[in-house]
Amino acid sequence: MTWDDYAEAWSGLHGGFDPRRASPVVRGWVLTAYTVGVWLGRRRVSPMTVTTIGLLVCVAVPFAARGSLLLAAFLILVAAAADGLDGAVAVITDRVTKIGFVYDSVADRIGELAWLAAFWVAGAPGWLVTAAGAASWLHEYVRARASAAGMSEIGVVTVGERPTRALIAGLGLVLITVIDRPWLPVALWLALQFAGLAQLSVAVRRALR
């Protein structure tokens, strides 16, 4: 599968969002996933295997945080890479399935819960961690329900998408090793989820009006 073929297939699975016309960061991320996905596909690695590996790495994050926040941050980086690769492998090997889509979505939510648990281990207040998790779940729930109600496109790429959460989680754990403020990254996570939810709400109302 060529890059153009992959980009078109990826766009069809993401509400018509064309990665070739995205920002350099997004385009580079999708292109990297395509390149590695081709390598994995040639070695017959299944999409669900990649998803499972990413999920297991996420679950290990809060346990790693008990001993080393830097190790926990590194594991989040690995998990984020796996998150982009499972879809790439599915498209490249023509193994996109509905059950795979559901599994990947559930794994993403469990993974984010594990990331936030690492902040709790690091000393962030439990109520703040819970609020941040609830806000990110609500963000995804609104988009899922809007799609079920007939919104055919992604709606809008908000400031609170999963890549943003991964970035806050990884860099936030590193920041805590320098500035002992474990609540700060979680508060930023929560604020961006509220901002993203506001953006998404406007897009959903426009699409379903």
Average pLDDT over residues 21-48: 84
Question: What local confidence, expressed as pLDDT, does residue 82 receive?
Answer: 85
Average pLDDT over residues 177-190: 96
Residue 112, pLDDT above cutoff 80: yes
The pLDDT tens digits for 152-166 are 666 677 888 888 899
Q: Active-site positions?
A: 108
pTM across the whole model: 0.87
- DSSP class per residue in 12-55: HHTTT--GGGS-HHHHHHHHHHHHHHHHHHHTT--HHHHHHHHH
Helices (H), 93-182: 98-122, 126-148, 162-178
Average pLDDT over residues 177-182: 94
The confidence band for 184, taking pLDDT boundaries of 50, 70 and 90, is very high
Residue 15, pLDDT above cutoff 70: no
* Least confident residue range of 13-22, 126-135, 194-203: 13-22
Question: What local confidence, expressed as pLDDT, does residue 154 receive?
Answer: 67
Residue 113, pLDDT above cutoff 70: yes
Average pLDDT over residues 115-144: 95
Contact by Cβ (8 Å): 91, 10:
yes
Residue 29, pLDDT above cutoff 80: no
The pLDDT tens digits for 46-97 are 989 999 999 999 999 999 999 999 999 999 999 988 887 888 888 888 888 8
